[in-house]
Amino acid sequence: MREPGKIAYIALLCTTMVGTLSANVMNAPLHRIQRDFNASDAEIVLAVSAFTIAMVVFVPLTGWLCDRYGAVRVVLISLAAMVLAQLLAAFSVNLEMLILLRLAQGIACSAFPPGIQRSLATLWPSKGQAAMAAWASAIGAGQAIGPPIGGLISELSGWRSVFIFQALVCLILTVTILAVVPKPRGRSVPVHPAGMFMLMVAVGAAALTVTLIGQRASPITEAVAGGTAALSVGVYAFLATKFPQRLFEPRSLLEKRYIRGTVTAGTSMLIMGVCLVSLPLYLGETMGLSPGPVGFIVSAMAAAMLLSGPLTAWFAERLGSRRVVEMGLSVLIAAPLLLGWWTSSESSFAIQVTIIVVLLLLIGTGINASQSVAAFAISRSQAARNTMAFGIHNTARFMGMAIGYAWAALIYPMGNSLLLYGGVSAAALFALLVTVIGGPAPQIPADHEP
């Protein structure tokens, strides 16, 4: 089959970028939304985390749907759903309606990671790794420009216009992909329906548990959700052991390289989640900044993630991937701790903002180093021979962000910045210990070992 043209390629990459935008574009005006709906700190964080929770739950299912019915077709349906959910969000009459529509947006967006990845690999086989690098860059670009775009649009015409802007962009992408991107048919993929359902219940119940803790729900409710997650994991493990050809057996994930990569990636997302919701609230409430400046300040972290790739590659070439991930995690131990100390102190406005930006640049660089090496480790693990391993890895990444949102919802209202960011540093320390303890992973033919 002849490879599609450049417009088709760019349209799919832009869809990835828009998916990332959808997750963080409302963060800059978060304080304005909180004020309009008279919401508490914990409640407004839930409006952000609802998107990620939905992705966590539905990524395994949408990955299978992409295989079964064709990735491009599933992406098109998801884009159409995004148009509707974004438009409706712009007319939210209360916080509850906004949260429900954010859940709908997250469900739709869950098809983008598996769908775009598979479409790029299938439609442009000659590009190989370059296509995956472009896909990763599109994610970084979305993370970098989301907060400033959300802040700028909110400054000009209010926060509701952010969702209208997103709906228009999704509509343009839907029409473009429909017109220029080929739509390969799906293939018959063996699956165990009950096993897939139990996996989704397990992931959903786990995400719900951490969210309920962040929202300070009753201990009984939290215990029921946690017990449901544990029971579902047990049932899935039993079914996967009994039907290994139709489900991914959990024991296959007990590989040093896979565990380290997943823990590192999940921790990086946790740190990102805490920063993406806590700092906009701090900058709006404590420093009195409007959404525009908030968006540009917060984007420093994502800009560092996007631009520090060559630096990470340079260090990996000279020091080895494992040393780079250790350096990245060391930065993620120190920088958030300094951020917690700095935001709990007082200084002149200019100095306060400058130090926050510097620390965000360090955190973004550390996240890039950790995540890029984690992705490399996962791609070379034995578990990755089964494509569902990537789905479980992505689920764990999004779960890390959901935990970060829950931690922010739980601790930020206390006004204790050291505890808020100290917990983040502790998570990075745990990831570093997982990486260091036990020595290098078993050797496999490659230039560098993670």
Based on the fold, state whether residues 117 and 200 are members of the same structural domain: no
pLDDT, position 170:
95
Q: Judge if 184 and 196 occupy the same domain.
A: no
Residue 441 is predicted with a pLDDT of: 60
Q: For residues 69-81, give the mean pLDDT.
A: 93
**Rounded Cα distance, 373 and 377, in Å:** 6
Instruction: Read off the pLDDT band of 189 (50, 70, 90).
Output: low
**197 and 341, same structural domain?**
no
Burial status of residue 179 (CB atoms within 10 A of its CB: 0-12, 13-18, 19 or more): exposed
Pair (326, 419) in one structural domain = yes
Residues 409 and 265 in one domain: yes
Considering the domain architecture, whether residues 337 and 290 belong to the same structural domain is answered as yes
Based on the fold, state whether residues 184 and 294 are members of the same structural domain: no
Instruction: Examine the domain organization and report whether 226 and 321 are in the same domain.
Output: no
Q: How much is the average pLDDT of 348-362?
A: 92
Q: Is the pLDDT of residue 115 over 90?
A: no
> Is the same domain home to 387 and 335?
yes
User: pLDDT at position 77, please?
Assistant: 96
In the predicted structure, residue 129 carries a pLDDT above the cut 70: no
Domain of residue 6, residue span: 1-189
For the beta carbon of residue 346, count every other beta carbon within 10 angstroms: 8
Q: Are 370 and 267 in contact (CB under 8 A)?
A: yes
The burial class, CB within 10 Å (0-12 / 13-18 / 19+), for 102 is buried
Tokens representing residue 250 in the block: 């959990």
Residues 236 and 288 in one domain: no
- Residues 176, 180, 184: CA angle, nearest 5 degrees: 115
On whether both 200 and 289 belong to a single domain, the answer is no
| More confident of the two residues 76 and 311 | 76
Domain of residue 263, CATH code:
1.20.1250.20
Q: What is the pLDDT of residues 218-256, one digit of tens each?
A: 889 989 999 999 999 899 888 888 887 777 666 766 777
> What would the mean pLDDT of 68-72 be, rounded to a whole number?
87
The pTM of this model reads: 0.79
**pLDDT given at position 122:** 83
pLDDT bucket at 392, cuts 50 / 70 / 90: confident
**pLDDT exceeds cutoff 60 at 100:** yes
Digit-coded pLDDT (tens) for 19-32: 888 888 888 888 88
pLDDT in tens, 320-339: 777 888 899 999 999 999 99
Per-residue pLDDT at 448: 40
Domain boundary among 142, 174, 189: 189
Q: Worst-scoring range by mean pLDDT, 208-217, 306-315, 355-364?
A: 306-315
The residue ranking higher by pLDDT, 381 or 289, is 289
Buried-state track 256-292, b at ≥16 Cβ within 10 A, e below 16: bbbbbbbbbbbbbbbbbbbbbbbbbbbbbeeeebbbb
Chain-centroid distance, C-alpha 183: 27
Of the residues 224, 246, 268, the one at which a domain ends? 246
Number of structural domains the chain divides into: 3
| Whole-number pLDDT of residue 178 | 94
288 and 168, same domain (yes or no): no
Residue type for position 93: V
